[in-house]
Structure 1
Amino acid sequence: MKSANPAVSTTLATLLALSALGAQSQAFAADKPDHEKCYGVAKAGKNDCKTLSNACAGHAIMDNQKDAFIALPAGTCERIVGGSLEMPSGM
């Protein structure tokens, strides 16, 4: 029996690993019951999960992007200027 092409095997392994990491990052805020999603305060490249304009954590394209969130301890977001517990409507 012939083994698969090493390049194909490496590519497949990489894609599987990246998809596992993506699934883990999307569950980040939900896994911490004492944390909440705070929209509109993440710095560029520092968001915790996908946004409407990208599919991965850490890919917010600008500071304070309205659809990007970071997980903060419960009660913190309401005290940050520009922070919102809900994604702005229309996004």
Structure 2
Amino acid sequence: MSTGRMAIAAALAAALALPATAQAQGSMEKCFGVAKAGKNDCQTDHSSCAGTSKTDGQTDAWISVPKGVCQKIVGGKLTSS
């Protein structure tokens, strides 16, 4: 396969994946206070990188979970405390 065709195929694959990615993000929510130390998904009030929470259940650290699941987890909150 030529380089041009490979580029077109890659662009087409990326374009087809966009709706699925947007839909997946829309069905997720941040769940605060349940991440294990070092396993948070993104920044906290005290750090700017994923995986940098210092303690289990750190109240400003979050993980992405399917909508509705956070409220079923002991200690899970939809906002940081």
- After TM superposition, the score normalised by the length of structure 2 is 0.69
Residue of structure 2 equivalent to 1:48: 41
Task: Specify the code of the residue in structure 2 equivalent to 1:81.
Answer: V
Whether 1:37 aligns to 2:47 is no
Unaligned runs of 5+ residues in structure 1 are 1-30
Provide the aligned length of Structure 1 versus Structure 2. Answer: 58
Residue deviations 1:5-51 (CA, integer Å, cap 9, x gap):
xxxxxxxxxxxxxxxxxxxxxxxxxx711000000000000000010
How far did 1:87 drift?
1.1
Residue of structure 1 equivalent to 2:73: 80
Runs of 4+ that moved beyond 2 A: none
Structure with the higher helix share, 1 or 2: 2
How far did 1:55 drift?
1.1
Residue deviations 1:54-77 (CA, integer Å, cap 9, x gap):
110010001000000000000000
Residue of structure 1 equivalent to 2:55: 62
Partner Cα separation in structure 1 for residue 75 and residue 66 of structure 2? 16
Task: Specify the code of the residue in structure 2 equivalent to 1:75.
Answer: G
Identity of paired residues, percent? 52
Partner Cα separation in structure 2 for residue 56 and residue 67 of structure 1? 13
- After TM superposition, the score normalised by the length of structure 1 is 0.62
Partner Cα separation in structure 2 for residue 43 and residue 32 of structure 1? 22
Structure 1 vs Structure 2 CA RMSD = 1.0
Partner Cα separation in structure 2 for residue 80 and residue 65 of structure 1? 14
Unaligned runs of 5+ residues in structure 2 are 1-23
